[in-house]
Structure 1
Amino acid sequence: MVILTAIDRDPGCKGVVETAYELATSMDMELVILHVVPEDGNEEKAREQVEDIVTSVIGTLEGVDLRIMPEQTRRDLPTGRTANHILQVAEDIDPDYIVIGSRKRTGLGKILLGSVSKLILANADVPVVTVEQKRKAEA
């Protein structure tokens, strides 16, 4: 049994990692943490930042399957590339749950989720847990 959580490099996603870790340990499930690096991003730097976020929350990387995946341009995915990479990993590993973050919005944005969150919720074949992702200043 597996929980897949997808995070970015914003320290505000610590709550996402914490929720995924708590779920995984309470249900004795494997935890896979995924970060998709933008095409123009530095994969090594991204790995360091994601490792720092994860270890600041759970204290270790031991027992966590940390995956840093470079985003790739695909002609069949004109939008939502990050979401589609997350969904592809979900298809490959067949998790029992997906845990993702969503930033709090104001006004009309309260009824809208971020594009990645919205695409994951609309297209995942398993239950999706969304966690409010704090802004950097609030983290």
Structure 2
Amino acid sequence: MTVLVAVADDEVSAGVVDVASKLGSCLDEELYVVHLTENEYANADERQVRDDLREQFEGKDVAFEVAIEHINRSGLRTSAAVGRQLADLADDVSINHVVIGHRSKSWLGKFTEGHTALVVADGVEVPVTVVPEDLDRSVL
């Protein structure tokens, strides 16, 4: 089985990497680390995110694979659309846990975009660990 780790290019990603590494190591599970993109083919910035993630996981005591996945939904790329894509991805592979970051939003952002982590938690049938943006990483 595998832990799906959703990583964006933001300030929450370091906490997600740390939590996912600890979880994967404790559960003796492989990590499938994914960065979603709207582009059909990864551009230089997205490939750099992938390479940076590989470097971050190299020193961890856990098996992992890092990938860039294309969001194949039409329309706006809202947080809800990204969450549905991640939920679909979790259903398509042998995922037994999901780790995802969460950033607080204004009331308008909540209304117009939704929360990716909440959509994922509601859309999958496996446990979901939500890593907050203000995680104290020193306790890990």
The answer to whether the superposition gives a TM-score over 0.5 is: yes
The 3-state SS of whatever aligns with 1:8 is coil
Moved over 6 A (4+): none
Letter in structure 2 aligned against 1:133: E
User: CA shift at 1:25, angstroms?
Assistant: 0.9
Letter in structure 2 aligned against 1:27: L
The 3-state SS of whatever aligns with 2:95 is coil
| Gapped regions of structure 2 (runs ≥ 5) | 135-140
TM-score in terms of structure 2 length: 0.74
- 1:57–1:133 distance in 2 versus 1, CA, 3 Å: farther
CA distance in 2, matches of 1:81, 1:128: 18
CA deviation digits over 1:5-64, x for unaligned, max 9?
10101243111011111111111101100111124985342121232144235537x831
| Gapped regions of structure 1 (runs ≥ 5) | 135-139
TM-score in terms of structure 1 length: 0.75
8 Å CA contact 2:83–2:116 kept in 1: the answer is yes
**Matching of residues 5-20 of structure 1 within 5 Å:** 5-20=5-20
**Matching of residues 16-55 of structure 1 within 5 Å:** 16-39=16-39, 42-55=42-55
8 Å CA contact 1:4–1:95 kept in 2: the answer is yes
Match of 2:3 in 1: 3
Q: Note if 1:127 corresponds to 2:127.
A: yes
User: CA shift at 1:98, angstroms?
Assistant: 0.4
8 Å CA contact 1:102–1:133 kept in 2: the answer is yes
8 Å CA contact 1:7–1:34 kept in 2: the answer is yes
Q: Pairwise CA RMSD of aligned residues?
A: 3.2
**Matching of residues 55-94 of structure 1 within 5 Å:** 55-56=55-56, 58-59=58-59, 63-74=63-74, 80-94=80-94
Letter in structure 1 aligned against 2:71: E
Letter in structure 1 aligned against 2:15: G
CA distance in 2, matches of 1:34, 1:57: 13
CA distance in 1, matches of 2:67, 2:40: 18
- 1:50–1:9 distance in 2 versus 1, CA, 3 Å: farther
Identity among equivalent pairs (%): 23
